[in-house]
Structure 1
Amino acid sequence: MRVIVLVKATDDSEKGTASPEWMAEMMEAMGKFNDELRNAGVLLMAEGLKPTSEAKRVAFDGSGRTVIDGPFTETKELIAGFWIWDVKDMDEAVAWVKRCPNPMQVPSEIEIRPFYLLEPGLIDRAKR
């Protein structure tokens, strides 16, 4: 089963105010964790995201489109980074997340969401 593991942003991660010492320590710990994931055959992809001050959103309203410049204010709804994992089941994904170093200096959350699996041939049939 493939899952996306979402590291939620915090006010600090959006502001980029972490000390260089803490960032170095966290990146080293996260690098070791990523190595464990890779060695176990779980890790498919991992990326950190820049703050929303460098982002844009496109709002849809019927046929209209409106571009909204960041930063965005609802930090609890923002994503700071993600992994894509290939795990046996949700229990295995939860077990891995419990081993993850805290990616933030403050209390934070990591969300795990499974991907939809397309039935083989579904895309080919849809093209007909």
Structure 2
Amino acid sequence: MRVMVFVKATEESEQGITPSPEVEQMFLDMGKFNEELVNAGIMVAGDGLKPSSFGKRVAFDGPGRTVIDGPFAETRELVAGFWLWEVKDMDEAVEWVKRCPNPMPGPSEIEIRPLYEMEDLADLIPPEAAAIHDGVGEKLAKR
């Protein structure tokens, strides 16, 4: 089972990284945790994200596209970092998150969301679309 693990943004993370002994320790602790995840065969990918002031959103309305510059409101709905994990089930993902050092200097949250797998969508995806998806997956695996 693949899950996306989101480190939720905080008011502090939206201000950017400010050097301090606390931040240095946080990076050290997180690096060690990432190393554990890799050694256990759990972590597929992961990284931190710059504050939303560096970001853009593209809003879709039919054929129209509107670009919205950051920063974005509702900090608690923003993501400051992510992992992509391969786990046996949601319980295993929760156990790993519980072992995670606090990803922020203050209070923070981590959200875990399962990814759709092709078998979840088998009754919805036409064979032609499934073939395209499989081809894309093969190309990505070769990268």
Q: TM-score, normalised by structure 1?
A: 0.92
Is 1:26 equivalent to 2:26 in the alignment? yes
Is 1:12 equivalent to 2:12 in the alignment? yes
Matched AA of 2:128:
A
Deviation at 1:17, TM superposition (A): 5.3
Gaps of 5+ in 1: none
Deviation at 1:63, TM superposition (A): 1.7
Residues 12 and 18 of structure 1 are in contact (CA less than 8 Å); yes or no, is this contact kept in structure 2? no
Q: TM-score, normalised by structure 2?
A: 0.82
The CA distance in 2 between the partners of 1:7 and 1:70, in whole Å, is 19
The CA distance in 1 between the partners of 2:22 and 2:14, in whole Å, is 16
Across the two proteins, how many residue pairs are aligned to each other?
127
Is 1:3 equivalent to 2:3 in the alignment? yes
The CA distance in 2 between the partners of 1:126 and 1:49, in whole Å, is 35
What's 2:55 paired with? 55
Task: Write out the 4+ residue segments of structure 1 that deviate beyond 6 Å after TM superposition.
Answer: none
- Secondary structure of the 1:11 match is coil
Q: CA RMSD in A?
A: 1.9
Per-residue CA deviations over 1:66-120 (Å, capped at 9, x if unaligned) read 100001121000000000000010000000000000011221110000000003x
The CA distance in 2 between the partners of 1:18 and 1:93, in whole Å, is 30
What's 2:128 paired with? 126
Residues 46 and 83 of structure 1 are in contact (CA less than 8 Å); yes or no, is this contact kept in structure 2? yes
The CA distance in 2 between the partners of 1:8 and 1:126, in whole Å, is 37
Is 1:98 equivalent to 2:64 in the alignment? no
Where in structure 2 are the equivalents of 1:35-54 lying within 5 Å? 35-54=35-54
Deviation at 1:25, TM superposition (A): 0.6
- Secondary structure of the 1:106 match is coil
Quote the sequence identity (%).
Answer: 63
The CA distance in 1 between the partners of 2:127 and 2:118, in whole Å, is 12
Deviation at 1:126, TM superposition (A): 2.2
Deviation at 1:124, TM superposition (A): 8.4
Matched AA of 1:91:
D
